Structure 1
Amino acid sequence: MEMSWFHSFPSTTFVLVVIVIVLLYLYSTWTFSTFKNMGVRGPTPWPLIGSMLEYRKGIVVKDLEWTKKYGKVCGIYEGRRPMLLVTDPEMCKQICVKHFSSFKNRNTLPLKSKPMSSRLFQLADDRWKVTRNTLTPSFSGSKMRLMSPLISRCADELIKNMEAHCKEGKTVQCKDLFGSYVVDSIASVGFGMDVSSQSQPEHPFVKHANLTAILSLFNPVFAIVFFFPFLLPLLKYFEIQLLPMKTIDYFSQVVGETIKLRNSDKGASQRVDFLQLMINAHEIYDEYVKSKEDDEDHDEGVNRVEFIKDSTHSSVNLSKGLSEDEMLAQSIVFFIAGYETTNATMSFVCYNLATNPETQEKLQKEIDEVMCNYDDVGYEAVSKMKYLDMVVSETLRMFPPPSRFNRECNQDININGINIPKGMTVSVSPYVIHHDPDNYPDPEKFIPERFSKEQKEKRHPYAWIPFGAGPRNCIGMRFALMELKMGLVRVLQKFTFEPCAETEIPPVLGKGIFLTPPNGIKLSVKLRE
């Protein structure tokens, strides 16, 4: 009897292996009929990995190919998860604006580890709305005017570095030069810190700056979410973070120490920056917690608290304010979202100017004329530079920072004849929309005049979406534009960019979530005559 069982053991093992393989195959392909049932075309997915193997060529490269082959609405699979890829401006408007109530949340990594689970990007429904309303006033026009002197001081160091490069005849690596300027600006405006990374490259704040590798699609956390979602409970149980704990710990220390300083120094509390806004909101949160302990009807009083008045006629009403975790999460996101994207955009602008000298000359002429009426480069001055805005807008068209942005459908709905089921992710590709000849003839050419008032009026309003679209667009858009415009104006007042032997034409684009030049942008820089 024992010998009989022994001889049958290999065949039993083989049967079990076959069963496991079949079950795994069924599990990994169970959702692959979704788009066929919806009548939406798309690439044939592979078991378990879906369409993601194609991303090795780059997200925007594949989005362009898929759109040309299958149309402006097509179905792809991130692992087992079906995702509707949209590259049509009108459908983008329908999803992000007209039917916002059905797509008000983002599909984000379902990680519950504190503090990053409290970041604005991940918050949903009412908590997102409250937090967004709390943070929005810090990016108003009046706040930008008050913050611009802080950015101008950071630009002083940028100019010194540029002068040093000119004297030594060095090729400029825009990624390093502008990266340091952006770090200093965000540290000053966001955290009230004087980092001086341009002269102190070893400052710990700088070391936590470049986090693009962490946000790669091939990060192990992303792999588990896309390919093995049944393992998500383990990520939550062990409180796995997307960011390194040393980075989170560093920012926790910075924010904590700054809060203590502000609370002990009444003069510091008058400072106008992103962190002070959140400190004020945190005080409202403390009121809420205290009233909750003292009064069962606590909500009634706190709901009427008025917060941050830009004028006597405007206010933002809060229900709870911000907790410490939310303050920390927003601080980290403010830095991550602003660093790589602004740095890359400034680099791409300089590339476009270097390879289009007539445009650079025209822009410098405008800068000279406008600055005749101002003593300093600030919010008001750059807002008067219309051609500068056209140059920046065209650069953002060609190289939009996000490869995609997404929304999650929260109820069955029909958009333009397509029945989108509850729970489906809809992803919009700004890059493909911006490079669609139907929206922009000769899309690979740099033509700032596309963004004259007359030309913009002829186009669909959602044919330009580098900062997303609708109520969940980039909250820091106004700050980012002011920051990069002020830096560019200060530089172009004194210097001219030219291509050099090391300049990549066209620039190589990254393959990840943010559209950045992995090799940077190398240019020659000369003092203006």
Structure 2
Amino acid sequence: MLLWIVSALFSTESICIATVILCLIRYYIHRKWQRLQKLGIPHEPPSLWNVGNMRGVFSTDTVCQKMLELKRKYGLVYGCYFGLEPCIVIHDTDMLRQIYTKEFHNFPDRQKLLTRLHGKDMNHGLIVIRGNKWKRIRLALSPTFAIMKLKQTFTIIDHCLARTLKILDRKSSSGLPFDAKRVFSNLALDVIVSSALGTTVDTQSSGGRDTRLMTELKNLFTRGFAGPVGMLCRITRDELIGNAMLMIGAGFDNSANVMTCMAHCLAFHPNIQVKLQQEIDDTFRDKGCFDYDSVKGMKYLEMCVNETMRLYPVFIRNGRVCRKDTVVNGLYIPKNMVVKIPVYFLAHDPDYWEDPWEYKPERMEDMSQIDPMRFQPFGFGPRGCIGMKFAEMEIKMALCLTLREFSFSPCEDTPRPPLKTIFKMALVPKEEFRLKVTRR
């Protein structure tokens, strides 16, 4: 019986069938990998070993060097294959500006791959939905992030920060270092959950494992938001849940990463930290408190935050799908083609930024001289991050209150700048690190 099975598997007919199937698969792959060549777009030869051209694309250790090589070899526009799917990578800032704004009606959506990665509930989130549904939900959610609503959340942020200051005070008194990622992640989670759910949920005292937090998050999926977002009447329950998950996930992790990376930058640049603290002290002395207007008016703080987001952006790249055949600055882009925007590289391009791996807030002094295509921490155009103002306010307020009372410095084992990063759901430090904190 065994001999019969073996002989059947390796019979001439079986080998011929397998060979034909493999040839057809190889022919299909070859046809798919001809699209960029037919469009006349230069690109590196794809291969099965590289999964098209995908190997290494999510490694920040190699992505900048590789993109610099491709840019200098092929110019400001070239192609690549993500598996079998072709895409066009554009470094030309004029073309990117057109895609984001003037030609937005032809490039309104992100690629479909995202809808298969985030799960059923997240398919209702703003980052993946398309067309009229995106317009409707974006319009419904926009009032939640209006300036007047943001000003009302200041007391929530202030209340959450009071718990963070107590934690840092205990670390300072004991002389023990603190885990920067853990402290700022718990703070960011505390702020976003308290703001979104309209309730006080202390995630900091228990290291983010508060049982009440889990109860509130479970309630979210049965009753929706308790806070101001719950007043929305133009979106369905599933849409509300999907965007609630998006706001909590993106709002907590991305803000935490910026605060963590900025604390690291300031620890290794004490002169910058002292200058920032002087601005914080002057503002508090003049205003008597920190509110939306006083924090927004702090120029050097904004420079430091912007430089941190340039050095450690949230995403490696952005993307848009071409809705119909379009010509942008003479480049023909066919329907359904994915356009890749190399956000991380544009923020580190040595042809544009002097010493791109150095932390230099002064380069952000005159933002009118900074091309927004080179620095887009929250995206650009109509599909830019809806929570941008909230995130900036939370980050600036956290830094104002912590730096007014404390100073950061590195430990012996703290990794030196620039931090090595990896891409998970967003760009995050590759390893957790500790910092010393001392009361001023």
- Is the pair's TM-score, using the shorter chain for normalization, greater than 0.5? yes
Amino acid at match of 1:431: Y
Residue from 65, 70, 87 that aligns with 2:74: 70
Distance 1:503 1:206 in 2: 31
Distance 1:161 1:357 in 2: 22
Distance 1:12 1:161, change over 3 A: same
Matching residue of 1:44: 45
Calculate the TM-score normalised by the size of structure 2: 0.91
CA shift, 1:475, in A, is 0.6
Alignment partner of 1:20 is 2:21: yes
Matching residue of 2:323: 410
Secondary structure class of the residue paired with 2:11: helix
Alignment partner of 1:142 is 2:148: yes
Q: Deviations over 1:351-402 (max 9, x none)?
A: 1111111111100000000011334323222112110000001111111111
Aligned pairs, number: 428
Deviates more, 1:105-114 or 1:323-332: 105-114
Residue from 94, 103, 107 that aligns with 2:111: 107
Distance 1:118 1:513 in 2: 17
Matching residue of 1:87: 91
Amino acid at match of 1:510: I
Matching residue of 1:388: 301
Deviates more, 1:120-129 or 1:369-378: 369-378
Distance 1:493 1:190, change over 3 A: same
Distance 1:258 1:328 in 2: 7
Amino acid at match of 2:83: G
Deviates more, 1:441-450 or 1:98-107: 441-450
Whether the aligned pair in 1 keeps the contact of 2:220 and 2:241 (CA below 8 Å) is: no
Whether the aligned pair in 2 keeps the contact of 1:32 and 1:82 (CA below 8 Å) is: yes
Q: Deviations over 1:320-347 (max 9, x none)?
A: x110001100100001111221111111
Residue from 122, 126, 140 that aligns with 1:116: 122
Matching residue of 2:210: 203
Secondary structure class of the residue paired with 2:421: coil
Deviates more, 1:141-150 or 1:432-441: 432-441
The 5 Å alignment of 1:224-373 reads: 251=217, 253-257=219-223, 273=227, 276-277=228-229, 279-282=230-233, 321-373=234-286
Amino acid at match of 1:100: F
Whether the aligned pair in 1 keeps the contact of 2:202 and 2:213 (CA below 8 Å) is: no
Whether the aligned pair in 2 keeps the contact of 1:28 and 1:47 (CA below 8 Å) is: no
Distance 1:160 1:250, change over 3 A: closer
Q: Deviations over 1:43-75 (max 9, x none)?
A: 221138211223364474444453344333221
Whether the aligned pair in 2 keeps the contact of 1:191 and 1:255 (CA below 8 Å) is: no
Amino acid at match of 2:219: Q
Distance 1:330 1:70 in 2: 40
Amino acid at match of 2:421: L
Secondary structure class of the residue paired with 1:338: helix
Residue from 422, 430, 434 that aligns with 1:518: 430
Distance 1:203 1:407 in 2: 39
Amino acid at match of 2:48: P
Secondary structure class of the residue paired with 2:320: strand
Identity of aligned residues (%): 30
CA shift, 1:522, in A, is 2.4
Matching residue of 2:363: 450
Secondary structure class of the residue paired with 1:166: helix
Distance 1:281 1:56 in 2: 37
Calculate the TM-score normalised by the size of structure 1: 0.76
Whether the aligned pair in 1 keeps the contact of 2:343 and 2:375 (CA below 8 Å) is: yes
Whether the aligned pair in 2 keeps the contact of 1:29 and 1:47 (CA below 8 Å) is: no
Secondary structure class of the residue paired with 1:55: coil
Distance 1:254 1:281, change over 3 A: closer
Whether the aligned pair in 1 keeps the contact of 2:224 and 2:241 (CA below 8 Å) is: no
Amino acid at match of 1:426: V
Distance 1:449 1:11, change over 3 A: same
Deviates more, 1:157-166 or 1:186-195: 186-195
Alignment partner of 1:160 is 2:166: yes
Distance 1:451 1:8 in 2: 67
- 5+ residue gaps, structure 2, are none
Alignment partner of 1:490 is 2:379: no
- 5+ residue gaps, structure 1, are 208-248, 263-272, 283-320
CA shift, 1:513, in A, is 4.8
Residue from 54, 57, 62 that aligns with 2:56: 54
Matching residue of 2:101: 97
Amino acid at match of 1:18: T
CA shift, 1:135, in A, is 0.7
Amino acid at match of 1:14: I
Deviates more, 1:430-439 or 1:63-72: 63-72
Amino acid at match of 1:448: P
Distance 1:404 1:465 in 2: 10
Whether the aligned pair in 2 keeps the contact of 1:50 and 1:77 (CA below 8 Å) is: yes
Distance 1:31 1:251, change over 3 A: farther
Residue from 474, 477, 491 that aligns with 2:388: 477
Amino acid at match of 1:281: L
Distance 1:451 1:205, change over 3 A: farther
Distance 1:339 1:105, change over 3 A: same
Deviates more, 1:45-54 or 1:185-194: 45-54
Distance 2:163 2:278 in 1: 24
Distance 1:170 1:113, change over 3 A: closer
